[in-house]
Amino acid sequence: MTVLDQIADAIGTDRILTGVDAAPYGKDWTGAYTSTPMAVLRPANTAEVAAILKIAHATKTPIVPASGRTGLTGATLAEGALMLSVERLNEITEINVAGRTATVGAGVILSNLHDVAEEHGLIFPLTLGARGSAMIGGLLSTNAGGSNVVRYGSTRGLCLGLEVVMADGRIMNLMSALHKDNSGLDLRNLIIGAEGTLGIITAAVLKLKPKPQAYATAMVAVPSLPDALDLLHRLQDETGGGVEAFEYMPRSYIDKHMQLFPDVTGPFEAIYDINVMIEVAATRAKDARPQDDGSLPVVSALEETLGAMLENGTVLDAVIAQNDNQRSEIWKRREDAGEVAFFGGVFVNTDVAVPLDKVEAFEKALTPRIKAIDPEAEEVIVAHLGDGNIHHTSYITRNDPGVIDAMTEAVEDVVQELGGSFSAEHGIGVSKLETMKRRKDPVALDAMRAIKAALDPNNILNPGKVIPTA
Amino acid sequence: MTVLDQIADAIGTDRILTGVDAAPYGKDWTGAYTSTPMAVLRPANTAEVAAILKIAHATKTPIVPASGRTGLTGATLAEGALMLSVERLNEITEINVAGRTATVGAGVILSNLHDVAEEHGLIFPLTLGARGSAMIGGLLSTNAGGSNVVRYGSTRGLCLGLEVVMADGRIMNLMSALHKDNSGLDLRNLIIGAEGTLGIITAAVLKLKPKPQAYATAMVAVPSLPDALDLLHRLQDETGGGVEAFEYMPRSYIDKHMQLFPDVTGPFEAIYDINVMIEVAATRAKDARPQDDGSLPVVSALEETLGAMLENGTVLDAVIAQNDNQRSEIWKRREDAGEVAFFGGVFVNTDVAVPLDKVEAFEKALTPRIKAIDPEAEEVIVAHLGDGNIHHTSYITRNDPGVIDAMTEAVEDVVQELGGSFSAEHGIGVSKLETMKRRKDPVALDAMRAIKAALDPNNILNPGKVIPTA
């Protein structure tokens, strides 16, 4: 009996897509990574995931878990493999308002969780451009970041409990809703960010946060990146850590964005080199209570800080959103980053982190090296400045693997010189396997290989991803 | 050549203690766990730790890492084993004020790091009663908690980078100072909390936080635990999450404390059943700027909240510290918890976590079960109420292993019924091995065993701790 016959026996044929039905799953959001899975499996519950893995384990059949397929590193490439989509595990089982937790299936779409949490006066604070497609399983498996990490941390910091189907089909129940739990090795954080190589996440307990009662959102132009950091620190001090987003968009990004979306006007009448999107939340009830003149304290705090810096020249220009439409417009410019990066043509896209105060040094060191490789290369940067996380894209004139490799290595060199990481928030997938091999501590790589072999001895879970061969 | 001769050859005899010199290391703070190590090794740097582990690995000699030996679970018991004390790795290598990080050796004493951070206007926010002896290596290895977790998280959340010597003596360099790093499996969090079973931590990069510019500290009596939780939520809302400590001390604890320290007066003139210690920090600069009448906004916020609740009867009594002495006195009562728990006699001490709103249910369900086992047993509780973390001690009348086991199981039963954890912040060591075997998910236990075998194939690192045999 073939593997697919065994699986059909176990969970029914209606769970299995092949041929043209499976074809769309061979593509991801980027369009850059395509594959032809043997079949796509869509189990309806954890028991079915377990049944599939038991068969895959016994037959040594590769399994690639997938959810929204919005990742940027090719982690769901499934050439000839079984793709296991968790899309049907899409139930929000519980919103615990008192405990501020959500219990969810791995197939829940991020924006659906946003909506349901809001109905209860709470938020799930993780957000990113792909939130209408990205699912909890993939967000956890890649430890996704996004624009609110400066305030709430990455996905890992928002997860309390996990249910995981291990390589042999056994179900590991770590579905705790506790904030403190020191009962042995930290398997939860090991599975989070493992990109499906150690087990398949089927459900999770997530933290919810109180919904800020008001926001102040602005676009600001500053003369230099140190001025931007000074602004960040002043705002954190004045608001007690209330900065929710602090996003750097240099002129290169604004230009490319306007080229891609010609109907959108620029953030300011003038054109500036250094633009920052800022969002501050009213974290104290008091800061959201209108004052006598109708103004909100959270907005006044932002205005006062910007006003003082405008006066001494450390802020050049500022626009504060006056309504929800203006706020959405400011956010949209930032959230189009995916479209901007994958604009077309030949490009080298990176996702690196450096210490907060080294973003300027990164730019200065990198540009001449990029130009030395391809004098006509065009650079675009967008960065989560509050985290030191830079997305740098080089649009190059020749589709030459040698040039692409040289550009990638140039970025890695600068990152390494500055004590940074070559993968800040997107993960490894297949796109950074070579980089892992070159740059990651060799003892750490061996530890990863040993753990992988121990937990998935038949190497069936997303094989060939994340951990380079020795 | 004996193992000790090989080690002496590699790092010198002056690093090795034996006989009477080694004897004090056979005891820990509790006095409940004693052992006779073969020898105590005190390497002066990471290279010496690596040299020791190479020899231990080759000769299959058990190694027990130790630092301040203030743990409560017997994790440093080293009968016949080599004890490796990291006490000489006590250098604070760097305080990066701009990046708000500290780079430290594993032997740095917690209170020393507190002092040095304060000199730079920053804090390392982890704090606990044993801070004058506990060292960073042990705090990381046990993922220690303490009284500020409600605000800053456990030790895991305060660590950015690690240096670890693996079982075979190779050095794993994860010394990142980055806030975002998705470069492969999360080995850092796996090593943290592993109690020295997967590798020996030799150095770390830790997060520092801005020093709050003022505190408001109080003892409060409330009629019920739901009122206490209501007070917590009100204060969090009013201060934007500024609650740094929220510690529950029922009458049983106050009584026992006064019995142990007869010179100390009670927190109030009257005697109350439910007492809570509260500390709120001024997180915004504004909240620490004296108002026209000289009062501090952070103190006024606490006074106003308590005042409103006194009026409607949901707070019974309150004393706010007027100076540093009064603040220290309030803190000392809480920090004597270790002495109170290990008061002497026969006792069963536990460290459990339940959801925040289940602390009352825990007390109500447990007492009759304790009394059924030993009608004369005396119960004392002290709890990090803001984390749902309860330390419950039963002082019993007979040193009978059967009674002790029954009490332990009674606590575990109640915890399990309430969806809690049998180990919140102290870890497993040897004292909770049986509990791990009984209560932890069996698939998780097998995963831990597989990881342990993969990273320490000769089982030399703190063998027999944390992970029960199958």
Q: Do A182 and B284 touch (CB under 8 A)?
A: no
The DSSP secondary-structure symbol of A424 reads: S
Compute the distance between CA of residue A198 and CA of residue A201 in angstroms, rounded to an integer. Answer: 10
In CATH, A3-85 is 3.40.50.300: no
Which pLDDT belongs to residue B285?
A: 76
Compute the distance between CA of residue B318 and CA of residue B309 in angstroms, rounded to an integer. Answer: 10
Compute the distance between CA of residue B370 and CA of residue B373 in angstroms, rounded to an integer. Answer: 5
Which of B98, B179, B194 comes nearest A357 by C-beta? B98
- Residues of A within 8 A of B155 (CB-CB) are none
Which residue of chain A comes nearest to B441, CA vs CA?
A173
The beta-strand segments (E) located in B159-255 are: 159-166, 171-174, 199-207, 209-210, 215-221, 243-250
Fold type of domain A92-210:
3.30.465
Q: Is B54 left (phi over 0), alpha (psi -120 to 50) or beta?
A: alpha
Which of A173, A182, A186 comes nearest B424 by C-beta? A182
Q: Do B240 and A240 touch (CB under 8 A)?
A: yes
Which pLDDT belongs to residue B284?
A: 77
Domain A3-85 matches domain A344-425 at the CATH topology level = no
Distance to chain B for A110, nearest Cα, Å: 20
Q: Is residue A59 within 8 Å of residue A6, measured between CB atoms?
A: yes
Query: Amino acid identity of B363?
Result: E
> B98-154, pLDDT tens digit by residue?
888 999 999 999 999 999 999 999 999 999 989 999 999 999 999 999 889 999 999
| Better pLDDT: A100 or B109 | B109
Which pLDDT belongs to residue A294?
A: 85
Which of B142, B148, B151, B182 should one mutate to test binding to chain A, selecting the residue with the greatest count of A CBs within 10 A? Answer: B182
Which of A145, A174, A240 comes nearest B180 by C-beta? A145
The DSSP secondary-structure symbol of B200 reads: E
- Residues of B within 8 A of A183 (CB-CB) are 421-423, 428, 432, 436, 439-440
Q: Do A427 and B182 touch (CB under 8 A)?
A: yes
DSSP of A88-118 = T---EEEEETTTTEEEEETT-BHHHHHHHHH
Q: Is residue A164 within 8 Å of residue A172, measured between CB atoms?
A: yes
Listed range (A73-77, B193-197, B282-286, B345-349) with the worst mean pLDDT: B282-286
Which of A184, A198, A389 comes nearest B428 by C-beta? A184
Which of A182, A359, A384, A432 should one mutate to test binding to chain B, selecting the residue with the greatest count of B CBs within 10 A? Answer: A182
- Residues of A within 8 A of B432 (CB-CB) are 183
**pLDDT surpassing 90 at residue B337:** no
Q: Is residue A22 within 8 Å of residue A4, measured between CB atoms?
A: no
Q: Do B180 and A428 touch (CB under 8 A)?
A: no
Token pair for B67: 């630092």
Which of A185, A426, A447 comes nearest B166 by C-beta? A447
Provide the sign of the torsion angle of the four alpha carbons A58, A11, A187, B463, taken in this order: negative
Compute the distance between CA of residue B152 and CA of residue B158 in angstroms, rounded to an integer. Answer: 8
> In terms of Cα–Cα distance, which of B351, B367, B345 is closest to B431?
B351
Compute the distance between CA of residue B284 and CA of residue B298 in angstroms, rounded to an integer. Answer: 9
Compute the distance between CA of residue B9 and CA of residue B117 in angstroms, rounded to an integer. Answer: 38
Compute the distance between CA of residue B23 and CA of residue B39 in angstroms, rounded to an integer. Answer: 9
Which of A154, A180, A237 comes nearest B387 by C-beta? A180
Average pLDDT over residues A160-178: 96
The helix (run of H) or strand (run of E) holding residue B384 is strand B378-384
> A27-77, pLDDT tens digit by residue?
988 888 899 999 999 999 999 999 999 999 999 999 999 999 999 899 999
SS3 A25: helix
Q: Is residue A443 within 8 Å of residue B171, measured between CB atoms?
A: yes
Q: Which residues fall within 8 angstroms of residue A209, CB to CB, at 6 or more apart? A: A100, A122, A123, A124, A125, A152
- Residues of A within 8 A of B441 (CB-CB) are 172-174
> A327-385, pLDDT tens digit by residue?
999 999 998 988 887 777 788 888 999 988 899 999 999 999 999 999 999 999 999 99
Looking at domain A344-425, its CATH architecture is: 2-Layer Sandwich (3.30)
Which of B103, B163, B164, B185 should one mutate to test binding to chain A, selecting the residue with the greatest count of A CBs within 10 A? Answer: B185
Compute the distance between CA of residue B110 and CA of residue B132 in angstroms, rounded to an integer. Answer: 6
Q: Do A421 and B174 touch (CB under 8 A)?
A: no
Degrees to nearest 5, angle at CA B231 with B324 and A126? 100
Hey, which residues does A249 pair with through a beta bridge? A275
Query: Amino acid identity of B151?
Result: R
ipTM over 0.90: yes
Looking at domain A215-337, its CATH architecture is: 2-Layer Sandwich (3.30)
- Residues of B within 8 A of A287 (CB-CB) are 240
Q: Is residue A302 within 8 Å of residue A280, measured between CB atoms?
A: yes
- Residues of B within 8 A of A50 (CB-CB) are none
The 3-state secondary structure of A265-306 reads CCCCCCCCCEEEEEEEECCCHHHHCCCCCCCCHHHHHHHHHH
Phi and psi at A400, nearest 5°, equal -115, 115
> B183-200, pLDDT tens digit by residue?
999 999 999 999 999 999
> In terms of Cα–Cα distance, which of B113, B322, B134 is closest to B217?
B322
**Termini Cα distance of chain A:** 35
Token pair for A323: 């309504």
In chain B, the percentage of residues whose pLDDT exceeds 90 is: 81
Which of A172, A287, A422 comes nearest B443 by C-beta? A172
Task: Kindly report the number of other CB atoms within 10 A of residue A22's CB atom.
Answer: 19
Half-sphere exposure (CA, 13 Å, Cβ side) for A212?
A: 22
Average pLDDT over residues B167-184: 95
Looking at domain B215-333, its CATH architecture is: 2-Layer Sandwich (3.30)
- Residues of A within 8 A of B182 (CB-CB) are 142-143, 145, 154, 193, 421, 423-428
Which pLDDT belongs to residue A43?
A: 98
Distance to chain A for B9, nearest Cα, Å: 26
The pairs formed by B101-105 with CB atoms below 8 angstroms and a separation of 24 or more are B101/B160, B101/B177, B101/B205, B101/B206, B101/B207, B101/B208, B102/B205, B102/B206, B102/B208, B103/B161, B103/B175, B103/B177, B103/B203, B103/B204, B103/B205, B103/B206, B104/B136, B104/B203, B104/B204, B104/B206, B105/B136, B105/B202, B105/B203
Q: Is residue B67 within 8 Å of residue B136, measured between CB atoms?
A: yes
Compute the distance between CA of residue A119 and CA of residue A179 in angstroms, rounded to an integer. Answer: 24
Q: Is residue A174 within 8 Å of residue A182, measured between CB atoms?
A: no
Compute the distance between CA of residue A72 and CA of residue A64 in angstroms, rounded to an integer. Answer: 16
Which of A156, A181, A284 comes nearest B238 by C-beta? A284
Q: Name the band, by pLDDT with cuts 50, 70 and 90, for residue B239.
A: confident
- Residues of A within 8 A of B436 (CB-CB) are 183-184
- Residues of A within 8 A of B178 (CB-CB) are 353-355, 388, 419-421, 424
Task: Give the domain ranges of chain A.
Answer: 3-85, 92-210, 215-337, 344-425
Q: Do A421 and B189 touch (CB under 8 A)?
A: no
Q: Do A450 and B455 touch (CB under 8 A)?
A: yes
Compute the distance between CA of residue A256 and CA of residue A340 in angstroms, rounded to an integer. Answer: 7
Which residue of chain B comes nearest to A142, CA vs CA?
B182
- Interface A-B: count of C-beta contacts within 8 A: 249
- Across chain A, which distance is largest between two alpha carbons, in Å? 77
Compute the distance between CA of residue A444 and CA of residue A463 in angstroms, rounded to an integer. Answer: 18
Which pLDDT belongs to residue A146?
A: 87
Highest mean pLDDT among A391-400, B142-151, B160-169, B285-294: B160-169
Which of A178, A356, A445 comes nearest B99 by C-beta? A356
Compute the distance between CA of residue A263 and CA of residue A242 in angstroms, rounded to an integer. Answer: 33
Which of B181, B192, B450 comes nearest A186 by C-beta? B192
Q: Do A198 and B185 touch (CB under 8 A)?
A: yes
Compute the distance between CA of residue B88 and CA of residue A367 in angstroms, rounded to an integer. Answer: 45
Which pLDDT belongs to residue A415?
A: 96
Query: Amino acid identity of A451?
Result: I
- Residues of A within 8 A of B189 (CB-CB) are 186, 189-190
Q: Do A186 and B156 touch (CB under 8 A)?
A: yes
Q: Do A441 and B184 touch (CB under 8 A)?
A: no
Q: Name the band, by pLDDT with cuts 50, 70 and 90, for residue B6.
A: very high
Hey, which residues does A353 pair with through a beta bridge? A389, A421
**pLDDT surpassing 90 at residue A104:** yes
The DSSP secondary-structure symbol of A461 reads: B
Listed range (A226-235, B261-270, B341-350) with the worst mean pLDDT: B341-350
